[in-house]
Amino acid sequence: MDNYKNTFETWNKLAHNYQGKFMDFDLYDDTYNLFCEWIEKPNAKIFEIGCGPGNITRYLLNKQPDFKITATDVAPNMVAVAQANNPAAKCSVLDVRELNTVKEKYDAVICGFCMPYLSKDDCLKLITDAANILNSGGVLYFSAIEDAYSKSTYETSSDGQHTMFVYYHEEAYLQEALKAANFENVIVKRKHYQKANGTTETHIIFIAKKG
């Protein structure tokens, strides 16, 4: 079983667990606020990648009820939970690796915490594909776990019942991909997240505008 398929199946099993853990998780709220500030168009069309239980979509709609949000996730159970939590949004199943099949254009793309489960090549493709569905001046937001890519490894859930392959990513190649895809005014933020086992990891957040 490939790493991504294993992760997808785990997400599908843990949809309600994720809802309990992350619906009111506020570590990133200030960066979501900045994302909203960068979107200057009223009634903006937002595309979310890896929406999980819909926590980010709910936060954005509470802040900007006029946003028109399409939220996607590879796990059908996650999509069902996200739709229940966000009746005003359009939630659907999509494998982020097939983002290039999306034909509609958007004013912003947000990818809250999907990159830790994507390889380097898939992340670089995600940035390119996101650029292609953004209007000129559109905003891209994404986050990743920052560390040497070579340290990527399997990690076990806090209850010891599930394993997922977690990828670490490096600022340098993500910045290069943004530049190559014609993004500018890149802002980088970092957050320190304490895991259930007591260790701390650095999360890196990018917000950029398409030129």
Mean pLDDT (the chain, rounded): 92
* pLDDT tens string 124-161: 999 999 999 999 999 999 999 999 999 999 887 666 67
* pLDDT tens string 56-107: 999 999 999 999 999 999 999 999 999 999 999 999 999 999 999 999 999 9
pLDDT for 24 equals: 78
Domains, the chain: 3-210 (3.40.50.150)
pLDDT at 37 over 80: yes
pLDDT at 182 over 60: yes
Residue 47 contacts by C-beta under 8 Å, 6 or more apart in sequence? 69, 70, 72, 102, 106, 108, 109, 110, 133
pLDDT at 6 over 60: yes
**Averaged over 14-36, what is the pLDDT?**
82
Q: Is the pTM of this model over 0.75?
A: yes
Q: How far is CA 145 from CA 6, 36, 50, 60, 188, in A?
A: 19, 22, 15, 22, 13
Strand runs labelled E in 17-80? 45-49, 68-73
Distance CA 49, CA 51 (A): 6
> Residue 1's pLDDT band (boundaries 50, 70, 90)?
very low
